[in-house]
Every structure is written in C-alpha cells, then in structure tokens.
Chain A
Amino acid sequence: MNWTCEQTEFRLTDYLDGLLAAEEQHAFDVHVNSCARCTPLVRDVTQTVSRLHLLPELAAPPRLVYNILDATLGPRETVTGWAAVLGFLRGIASPRFAYGSLSVAATFLMLVTASGFNWKKPRLADLSPTSIYRNTNRQVHLVYARGTKYVSDLRVVYEIQSRLRQDNELPTGNESTVPEAAPQKQPGSTDGTSPATPRQQNRANDSHSHLEVLAEELPFLSGKLSLVSSGKLGIAMSGKLIFPVSGKL
C-alpha cells in the first residue's frame, strides 16, 4: 500500500486517535519513517497535542458566580444596622474563630511579657524598640544562665550517683583502708565540747544540716551520706570520702 504526504497530513488525527486500520497504520509508519517532510510534522503535531493536554484548567474568578447571580436573580438583600452587627457577630461566634483569637492573644501576651513589659506599672516607654530589645536581651541571658546552672546541678547529682555506684562495686577488701570513725562520734561532727574554734564548729554543723537536706532530696542516698572526720569535709559512704567539698573542718 502506497502512502503519500497528503494522506499523512489528512489522516493525522485518525493516527493520533488510533483509528487507522492495521494496513494503513503500517503504510503510515513506513512512509513517515522515510519521509523528511512527514517525520517532523508528525513529531511536532504529536507534541503540540501533548502540550494542549498539559494546559491546566483555570479556576474561575471567585466573584464570577456572584456577578452572574446578581445579574440574573437580582442583587441579594443587604442587611444594615443592628441586624448587620448581629450577623457579623454570629459569623465570628464559631469555635474555630474563638480558638484562633485565643491563640493569637496568648502569643501576643507572651511576647509582650517576655520583652519585659510590666503589666502592673505599664509605661509607653517599655514598648519602644530599644526597650524591647534591651529587655529581651536581658531575658535571654537570664534564661541562659538559669539553664546553665540547672545543667551544672544535674552534673553534680549524676557525679554523686556514679561515685556511689562505683563504690558499691568495689571489692570488700578495700574496706580495711578506710579509716574507722570513732564509735562515740558521728563522722564529720564534733562533740561540741572542745571545738578548735567556734567558726569551725558552726561550719561542721552547717555541713551536717546540708547533708540532711540532700538526703531528703535524694532518697536513694539515704543512710549513705555522712561527713568524714579526718579533717576533710565531704560526702562519705561507709566511712570513705567519695565526694570532697571545698573547705576543712
């Protein structure tokens, strides 16, 4: 079957729609593959159709529907006065709007408070950009300092915990190296009869009370904290100094 360039052009839509008979399709393919004029034609038209199919369906302008309805059914009744106000309030009296408003208000309050605004003595000067910057800077540094202190405290507690754990794991033979505390005295305390100086006596008593507070705060240390009486102040377990504290008795 002979196929001509005119036939290619005339039957191009049938080819793209897959409507050519098998014999026609074969003749079409043979011709197009060997024709310098038809090869680019088929390629360009195929691509053009693909591009047309890629064109998006646009959204109609939002006002179009209302304009059409106004032009056909007539303008909608407009509400004025108190009825309009009530209608507006009814429109915003929805949980969605309320939650949104509350979250916006809370965010605003937090930001203003964080910038150092004093709600008890409000001053317009507190809202100037310089004051806001200065106060915010101060707040940030304060938060940073508190955070650092908290982390530092945590480190102390973990240090105590790890030392206690290490001590628990020590073999019992080492116990012999630990100095025995005097039976009639509590480690780290004085008998109160012959302190070296009144100040030393007070310091020892203070340390003892601090350890009692620490033992209350950290129940797992209960019964394991004491003061070493070998002249050094610190936390001891079974008579062994495990966490020295600066200062001496």
Chain B
Amino acid sequence: MEQDAQLVQQCLQGDGSAWEELVRRHSRRIFNICYRFTGNRTEAEDLSQDVFLRVYRTLGSYRSAHGGFATWMTSVTRNLLIDHYRRTKRDRSTDSLDDAMPAVESKESTGRRPDEQALLSELSAQVQVALTHLSPELREAVILRDLQQLEYSEIQAVLAVPEGTVKSRINRGRIELARILQQMGVRPS
C-alpha cells in the first residue's frame, strides 16, 4: 500500500516507469473485476483500459489519507462499470438465461485432473452467466466480497454506502445467485 502511494508520488513527478509499475501491479485485478461484471473479455479489456486512462488523468486527486490506492482504483472501476451498464442497458434487454454460455475460461494450469478441470470450467462458465443476470448493485457487491475478497469496510468505501447496506446487498446477491443457478439447472453437487 505504501509502495503504491510512493509510486503515485513518483508518477506525479513525471516518472513514466513508476506509472508502468502501477499498471503492471493492478491490471490483472482490474481486468478480473471488469470481466466478472460484464462477462465479456473484449469489453473487460476495453473497460480496463478506460479505467487506467481515467486514473492517469485524475491521479492528482488521489489522497492516501483517504484510503489505499487499490480501494480508490476499485472505486473508479466501479463507477465506470455502472456507467457502462447504463449505456448498454438497452442492448441487453433481450438477454435471457437461455443465451449461449460464454467460452470456457482459459486460465493457468491448476494441477487438477483433466476431467476435474473440464467440470470446473463448465461450472465457472455457468456461475459467470448467473452473475451477469444479477442486478448491477447486487453483482458488484458479490464480486467485491466473494471474488475480490475485500473487507466490508473496503466495500463500503468503494460503493460509498453504509456497512449495513453492503451486508444486505451481499446477502441478497448470494441468495439471488443461488436461485438463478437453480433455474439454470445447476444442481447441488
């Protein structure tokens, strides 16, 4: 965290390598948040790029006293994702649970057996589809808590809502997600 703040200071002094280091440190996390929110790799890539562009332009407004750089960046990401959701809402109005499943997620080797790996990939794809059918406010809460493993206080800072609301959204998001998975025919193992 302190290292991030130091890198930000170096960036503000015009150090390009410090900015490159910041990009390398956070690009994977930001890409994953965007991908889990949109369910589309291309959109996630474009959105990640937009996030870093906005962060670069507004880097001067970051104050380390108000929280960690990662939390601030996640907050910027969340705002962009919500904007993107509102912009593209009309295009998605015809989406349904019967839509084609996304391509099987490519990932690094986990040392699992091929059959386990295939099952896990299929399950991941189903969970990803279910996630994109959650309302955006529940989706972002679940992603930040269960995928990004953020503390309630950090989620509260990112979403700018009281902790009770955060808990309530996470709770409702999980229940809704379980219901969607059941509708999709994903049975308990």
Determine if A192 is an interface residue (Cβ-Cβ < 8 Å).
no
Q: How far is the CB of A195 from chain B (nearest CB, A)?
A: 80
Determine if B7 is an interface residue (Cβ-Cβ < 8 Å).
no
Q: Which chain B residues lie closer than 8 Å to A44 at the CB level?
A: 178-179, 181-182, 188
Q: How far is the CB of A88 from chain B (nearest CB, A)?
A: 23
Interface residues on A, range: 20 to 34
Cα(A205)–Cα(B49), bound, Å: 94
Q: Taking A44-B182, A48-B181, A65-B27 as contacts, is the C-beta distance between A12 and B175 under 8 angstroms?
A: yes
Determine if A86 is an interface residue (Cβ-Cβ < 8 Å).
no
A58 lies within 8 A of B175 (CB): no
B123 lies within 8 A of A52 (CB): no
Q: Report the interface size for chain B: residues with CB under 8 A from the other chain.
A: 43
B175 lies within 8 A of A45 (CB): yes
Q: Which of B106-152 contact A (CB under 8 A)?
A: 106-108, 110, 120, 123-124, 127-128, 142, 146-147
A12 lies within 8 A of B174 (CB): yes
Determine if B37 is an interface residue (Cβ-Cβ < 8 Å).
no
With both beta carbons as reference points, the residue of chain B lying nearest to A13 in the complex is identified as B171
Chain B 1-37 interface mask (CB, 8 Å, partner A; 1/0) = 0000000000000001001100110011001100110
Determine if B170 is an interface residue (Cβ-Cβ < 8 Å).
yes
Q: How far is the CB of B164 from chain A (nearest CB, A)?
A: 11
Q: How far is the CB of A14 from chain B (nearest CB, A)?
A: 8
B107 lies within 8 A of A13 (CB): no
A64 lies within 8 A of B45 (CB): yes
Q: How far is the CB of A51 from chain B (nearest CB, A)?
A: 5
Q: 15 extra interchain contacts, Cβ-Cβ under 8 A, other than A56-B108, A65-B24?
A: A9-B171, A13-B171, A41-B178, A52-B142, A52-B177, A55-B127, A57-B28, A58-B31, A58-B107, A59-B28, A60-B32, A64-B49, A67-B45, A68-B49, A72-B23
18 contacts between A and B (CB under 8 A): A13-B170, A44-B188, A45-B175, A47-B189, A51-B127, A52-B127, A55-B147, A56-B108, A58-B105, A60-B45, A61-B31, A61-B45, A65-B27, A67-B45, A68-B53, A72-B56, A73-B16, A73-B20
